[in-house]
Amino acid sequence: MNNSIFIFPGQGSQKIGMGKDFYDNAPLAKKMIEKASQRVGFDFTALLFEENDRLDQTEFAQPAILLVSLIAHRLFSEQCKVIPQSVLGHSLGEFSALSAASAMDYLDAVELVHQRGLLMKEACEGINAGMMALLGLDDVSVENLTCKERELGKKVWAANYNGDGQIVIAGNKDDLASLEPLFKEAGAKKAVLLPMSVASHCPLLSSAQPKLEEYLEKWLKESFAMPVISNVTASAYQSKAEAKRLLSEQLVSPVKYKQSILHVENATDSFIEFGGSVLKGLNKRITQKPTHSITDMKSLDEVLALL
């Protein structure tokens, strides 16, 4: 396991109580949460540990997930000096990966993804944006169907390639709903509208790109400790200029998660997921290589014991 790749979950992995065990048992985690609360001006302990409806809103979900991921990573790194071959994340998780690669201070990353969430929310206001999960259709079928429907005026795009037969599409919610019978007819086992008010990774977010680029210019560092795998290209990059361009493109381009894992799997003997276990589930459908998830002190100790 000394030849690992570090991976970081994206939006949809959030749940009330995440990070609580770290907060209760690790002074470093408590300090990171307190500093993040001061930085963005809202209380992460209330957001993470108390029942609320804000944790599902993109501008709060994004910094919450990133913060818990980076706490898990920092606690691991304090006790283990394994340097990963590369790092990657799913959508938002790419920002966690950048911070883990020392390309961005964690507090800058927390503020950046909070602002990214606000920009995404603003871009989708008044356009009835949504996302739909499709199970049982191959990539080419989904691409052909959505392409054909766009030619007919529908706003629908492939957004996340999560695994064989598991794709998320984004666009106008009414357009997505209207295509459910078409997808079922083509062989989809499921076509389910997700509880999302944004349409991630499609051209509907283009208005958010210029401002995001300004934040990236402000907070990204020039050098990275290790390569980061891009969601847009499924290939590695390791410079501020590339990061700025690729993370802006990531807003309007599909997440090539499956392709990213396949690209790196021969260079590693395992994956370590920080702050969630969603990617562990996806990886089971993509690769034979094991994925170990760190979500609390117990799982942290278990992964450290394997090294």
Question: Which entry of 201, 230, 263, 292 is annotated as an active-site residue?
Answer: 201
* Residue 91 annotated in active site: yes
* Residue 114 annotated in active site: no
Model pLDDT, residue 1: 61
Model pLDDT, residue 253: 97
- What CATH homologous superfamily does 4-123+204-306 map to? Malonyl-Coenzyme A Acyl Carrier Protein, domain 2 (3.40.366.10)
Indicate the Cα dihedral angle 52, 7, 113, 23, nearest 10°. Answer: 50
CB atoms within 10 A of CB 211: 16
Q: Could you report the per-residue pLDDT of 208-264, keeping only the tens digit for each?
A: 999 999 999 999 999 899 999 999 999 999 999 999 999 999 999 999 999 999 999
Instruction: Say how far apart CA 100 and CA 237 lie, in whole Å.
Output: 14
Query: Residue 155's closest CA among 170, 140, 134, 177?
Result: 170
Strands 166-172 and 291-294: unpaired
Question: Which entry of 4, 86, 91, 96 is annotated as an active-site residue?
Answer: 91
Model pLDDT, residue 296: 97
Q: Which residues of the chain have pLDDT under 50?
A: none
Q: Could you report the per-residue pLDDT of 286-295, keeping only the tens digit for each?
A: 999 999 999 9
CATH of domain 129-197: 3.30.70.250
Q: The whole model's pTM is what?
A: 0.96
In the chain, where are the structural domains located? Answer: 4-123+204-306, 129-197
